[in-house]
Amino acid sequence: MDVKIESSWREILNQEFEKDYFISLVNFVKEEYRTKTVYPPAGLIFNAFNLCPFSNVKAVLIGQDPYHGYGQAHGLCFSVRDGVDFPPSLVNIFKEIELDLGISRQGSGNLERWAKQGVLLLNATLTVLAHNAGSHQRKGWEEFTDAVISLINNKKENVVFMLWGAYAQKKGENINRQKHIVLESVHPSPLSASRGFFGNKHFSKCNDYLIRNGIAPIDWC
């Protein structure tokens, strides 16, 4: 199946694209976009991959669903487009960056700048109906993104996996802790951030690990 995705990902995921579940998923998603309002825009479904080729992956941040409000989602977990208000979880992410690294929050919540440095900003589900959280769960996206995580786990070394909340932690439960580092805490949502997200120091821990392994750190500004 011809999937419009960055070439290194197309090569490594080619067998996945031919599986029955993925073909069914594509047919479902196409019909949803044809008949309903779906986010992100269709051309940005694989934005996380297009901005962060497989060879560049240094860190993986796992989210759940795309944002389902108008103009927010653009294919990167936790990220919003330039000029869009920061959602509460993203506000808390930047609060922790300031606590951890002393870097003040930037004016934009667009995290493309992280993706281009090697942070794969991966939602478990890559599409969602407008104003309907979780509406495209259990349609095949989770199987696809499990395969992505498995390929990174198996084919790369010294990747930082940042797993915030029980959902992301379950998604990453098979990661090889001997080859990679897994940083876990509660989710940055306002419902949980004060119970262990603030003070987790994941951003400095990520960079310390990368530097120890001869890999350029991430500029988290």
The answer to whether 98 touches 199, Cβ cutoff 8 Å, is no
List 65, 82, 100, 208, catalytic entry? 65
According to DSSP, the residues that pair with 183 across neighbouring strands are 162
User: What ranges make up the beta strands (E) of the chain?
Assistant: 38-39, 59-63, 119-123, 128-129, 160-164, 181-185
65 is catalytic: yes
According to DSSP, the residues that pair with 160 across neighbouring strands are 59, 181
According to DSSP, the residues that pair with 123 across neighbouring strands are 63
Q: What would the two tokens of residue 145 be? A: 């993104």
| Per-residue b or e along 158-186, where b marks 16 or more CB atoms closer than 10 Å to that residue's CB | ebbbbbbbeebbebbeebeeeebbbbbbb
The answer to whether 116 touches 149, Cβ cutoff 8 Å, is no
Catalytic residues: 65
